[in-house]
């Protein structure tokens, strides 16, 4: 699972070994080039390797952008079910990220709001078969998260960290940011909101850009996967709300 670095040649006997300081530019370049791929289903140990690597090295996007997903567009009004436009939003960044915002109505009333919030806080929106987060993963600010995705038979382990978890009477937001070792750089926020008319909406707000040559080379496919995730995550939350309403135990 881990990437092995090979040294071009051995040091001749008697020659002092050159020691590079930790955190040198060469070390940082090697760190940013490391991603976590494998053909086998990720084990708990292999997930920890990814999150430990990312946690040690930190976010792979600028500190001033950490938490910027708070300013993503809000849900549309109850009379519109199409994704919200960011035309009126102050969400703007000075680097070439791609920003996405998708909201869908998933229910109505206090019970549906509680069910949707519970689904997001336990990462049920990631249990999609081709994408997952390990059960029991924390959802508090600072908690590490390993998102695993199977693409064309290859399992990718992407390390992230919860940036914020915010809750009011009618709104719940959980966001995580990409750490070193992630294929992308940026942030993703999951929002559950109960509007004044009682309708409950689930949204996925992201800003991202490639952080590794593999992601840059396959960027059209990456964008397709992002769209697929938003669609499937919305379906998963809607299913959790429906099952809670009808008293069925979720099987996801």
Whole-number pLDDT of residue 95: 58
CB-based contact 72:99 (threshold 8 Å)? yes
Read off the tokens for 176: 């995580």
Read off the tokens for 231: 């669609």
Whole-number pLDDT of residue 76: 75
Residues 6+ apart with CB under 8 A from 77: 195
Whole-number pLDDT of residue 142: 98
Residues 6+ apart with CB under 8 A from 130: 149, 150, 151
Q: What helix, strand, coil percent values describe the chain, rounded to 5?
A: 30, 30, 40
**Tens of each residue's pLDDT in the chain, 252 residues:** 333 332 333 333 443 433 333 344 444 444 556 899 999 999 999 999 999 999 999 999 999 999 999 988 777 765 444 444 443 344 455 558 999 999 999 999 999 999 999 999 999 999 999 999 999 999 999 999 999 999 999 999 999 999 999 999 999 999 999 999 999 999 999 999 999 999 999 999 999 999 999 999 999 999 999 999 999 999 999 999 999 998 865 454
Question: CA-to-CA distance for 161 and 180, rounded, in angstroms?
Answer: 11
Whole-number pLDDT of residue 73: 74
């Amino acid at each position: 699972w881990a990437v092995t670095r090979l040294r071009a040649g051995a040091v001749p006997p008697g020659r002092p070994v050159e020691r590079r300081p930790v955190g040198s530019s060469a070390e940082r370049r090697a760190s940013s080039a490391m991603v976590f791929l494998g053909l086998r289903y990720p084990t708990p140990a292999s997930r920890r390797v990814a999150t430990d690597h990312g946690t040690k090295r930190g976010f792979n996007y600028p500190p001033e952008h950490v938490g910027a997903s708070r300013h993503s567009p809000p849900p549309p009004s109850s009379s519109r079910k199409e994704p919200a436009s960011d035309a009126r939003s102050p969400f703007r960044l000075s680097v070439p990220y791609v920003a996405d915002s998708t909201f869908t109505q998933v229910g109505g009333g206090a019970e549906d709001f509680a069910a949707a919030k519970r689904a997001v806080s336990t990462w049920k929106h990631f249990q999609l078969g081709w994408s997952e987060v390990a059960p029991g993963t924390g959802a508090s600010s600072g908690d590490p998260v390993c998102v695993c995705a199977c693409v064309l038979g290859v399992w990718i382990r992407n390390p992230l960290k919860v940036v914020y978890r915010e809750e009011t009477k009618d709104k719940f937001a959980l966001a995580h940011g990409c750490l070193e070792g992630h294929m992308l750089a940026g942030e993703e926020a999951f929002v559950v909101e109960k509007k004044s008319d009682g309708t409950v909406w689930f949204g996925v707000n992201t800003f991202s850009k490639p952080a590794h040559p593999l992601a840059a080379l396959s960027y059209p496919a990456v964008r397709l996967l992002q769209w697929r995730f938003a669609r499937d995550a919305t379906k998963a939350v809607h299913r959790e709300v429906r099952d809670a309403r009808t008293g069925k135990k979720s099987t996801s």
